[in-house]
């Protein structure tokens, strides 16, 4: 799981589809394109207006699986997205791979109030053969800070509601 701090959803039927998730202190915009790419195009702290993403950053999807001794590089294709407005905004983006037959679900959730936009990724093996998955980089984004007075925090996040006191 991923927690981002300093983070409504709209979809269109174009070649690239964007979604923006907001908490009180973070705005994150994602893009899926027809070729299966998922990108972070904006990571903004609303209080300062600073966009930490200077240019679009590709969000890595699982890039290697093995079946027995055979290695495969998935060719993920964007399939669908669903938006739910329960306890904030949740965007669920689904990608498919033909061979081996798999489905990847990338779920992004922005709860009301201050706090992170959370991410979880699951892979479903549709083909039935035993597949070996390799460790996946959950979040790989190129960020830039303002020229002065920048601060960055990292929080350990188990995906639960915030506690009154920190960990």
Q: What is the pLDDT along the chain (167 residues), one digit of tens a residue?
A: 344 433 333 333 345 699 999 999 999 999 998 787 899 999 998 988 888 887 888 888 999 999 999 999 999 999 999 999 989 999 999 999 999 999 999 999 999 999 889 989 999 999 989 999 988 766 666 677 776 666 666 556 665 565 555 44
**H/E segment holding residue 38:** strand 38-45
- Look at residue 13 in the predicted model and tell me its pLDDT: 36
What distance in Å separates the CA atoms of residue 64 and residue 108, rounded to the nearest whole number? 23
pLDDT at 156: 60
Q: Positive or negative, the Cα torsion across 77, 83, 87, 88?
A: positive
Cis peptide preceding 100, ω within 30 of 0 = yes
């Amino acid at each position: 799981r991923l927690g981002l701090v300093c983070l409504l959803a709209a979809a269109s039927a174009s070649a690239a589809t964007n979604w923006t998730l907001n908490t009180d202190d973070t705005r994150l915009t994602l893009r899926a394109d027809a070729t299966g790419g998922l990108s972070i195009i904006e990571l903004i702290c609303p209080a300062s207006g600073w966009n930490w993403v200077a240019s679009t950053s590709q969000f890595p999807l699982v890039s290697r699986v093995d079946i027995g001794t055979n290695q495969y590089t998935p060719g993920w294709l964007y399939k669908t997205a669903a938006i739910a407005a329960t306890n904030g905004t949740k965007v669920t983006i689904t990608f498919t791979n033909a061979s081996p037959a798999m489905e990847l679900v990338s779920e992004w959730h922005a709860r009301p109030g201050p706090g992170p936009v959370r991410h979880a990724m699951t892979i479903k093996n549709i083909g039935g053969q035993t597949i070996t998955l390799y460790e996946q980089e959950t979040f790989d984004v190129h960020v830039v800070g303002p020229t002065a007075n920048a601060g960055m925090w990292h929080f350990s996040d188990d995906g639960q509601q915030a506690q009154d006191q920190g960990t």
